[in-house]
Amino acid sequence: MSNVIVTGASRGIGWATTEALATRGDRVAAIARFEGGSEHVAKIAEPIALDLSRSDDAERAVDVAESIVGPCTAMVLAAGVAEHAPIEDVSAARIDRHFAINVRAPLLMCRELAKRAKARGTSASIVMVASTLGIAPAKRTSVYAATKGAVIAMTKALAVELAPFGVRVNAIAPGVVDTDMTRALRLEPGEAMPAGAELLRRQDAQMKALASLHPSGRVGSARGVAAGILYLLDAEDAVGTILVLDGGLTAGSA
């Protein structure tokens, strides 16, 4: 059994990873904002309410987690924000928010876990959640794609820096995954958000269109990505690996 930190643990990939870790017997420090409550997480993990868009919360996150579950030897950085827009609608605030959560917070938390692992003389394993958009961006994703490209670059940089100290750093790059974030409707500039049956119809059409981009003919699942994350956590020879799980999205056209 290991003590593991998971960010973005209340939903999506973070929640699926928390479930998978708890099922195999790990103790999980589950970090999220918990805007919808933490009851479901508290049944299997230790919920910790932090806002990683705040640098002070990101800097103290590892310390808070270890004060609750004990020394941690693994960390999964799944918290993220994705708001797609054409470049003319991109604001400085949008850029700052994306980089604060998707890039700054993981870097600060890696710094803190690495310091503790070095001081204790223990090994550790870190997995970041990147995206195929950091490898092959699409239109209207300039800000998000920039942050995920940064995640891939910092994964490799940290991997070569920390491997001599027994700290492995890797990343997983999913394609489109069926989560609440993905189902959030992509609106045209100035378009009002539909409601009721029309909203459901538009969401279904959006997911079908996204699935059609994949040679596999379907979008990924959070549980499938979680399985890849657990593999990277445990694979001793994975150092600076970017594991692409995208249903063939970046391999070629459907």
Classify residue 214: in a domain, yes or no.
no
Classify residue 213: in a domain, yes or no.
no
Residue 188 has pLDDT above 90, yes or no: no
DSSP for 154-204, written as a single string: HHHHHHHHHGGGTEEEEEEEESSB-SHHHHS--PPTTPPPP-HHHHHHHHH
pLDDT in tens, 201-251: 888 887 888 888 888 888 889 999 999 999 999 999 999 999 999 989 888
Classify residue 174: in a domain, yes or no.
yes
When pLDDT is averaged across residues 6-13 and rounded to a whole number, the result is 96
pLDDT in tens, 64-119: 999 999 999 999 999 999 988 889 999 999 999 999 999 999 999 999 999 999 99
SS3 at position 6:
strand
**Average pLDDT in the chain:** 93
Q: Which two tokens stand for residue 254?
A: 């459907």
pTM: 0.91
DSSP for 200-250, written as a single string: HHHHHHHHHHHHHTSTTSS-B-HHHHHHHHHHHHH-TT-SS-EEEESTTTT
Classify residue 216: in a domain, yes or no.
no
- The answer to whether the beta carbons of residues 50 and 33 sit under 8 Å apart is yes
- The answer to whether the beta carbons of residues 65 and 74 sit under 8 Å apart is no
Classify residue 194: in a domain, yes or no.
no
Classify residue 205: in a domain, yes or no.
no
Report the distance separating Cα 209 and Cα 205, nearest Å: 6
- The answer to whether the beta carbons of residues 14 and 79 sit under 8 Å apart is yes
Q: 130 lies in which domain range?
A: 3-178+221-245
Domains of the chain: total:
1
Which CATH number covers residue 57?
A: 3.40.50.720
Look at residue 253 in the predicted model and tell me its pLDDT: 56
Classify residue 155: in a domain, yes or no.
yes
Classify residue 187: in a domain, yes or no.
no
- Phi then psi dihedrals of residue 156, to 5 deg: -70, -40
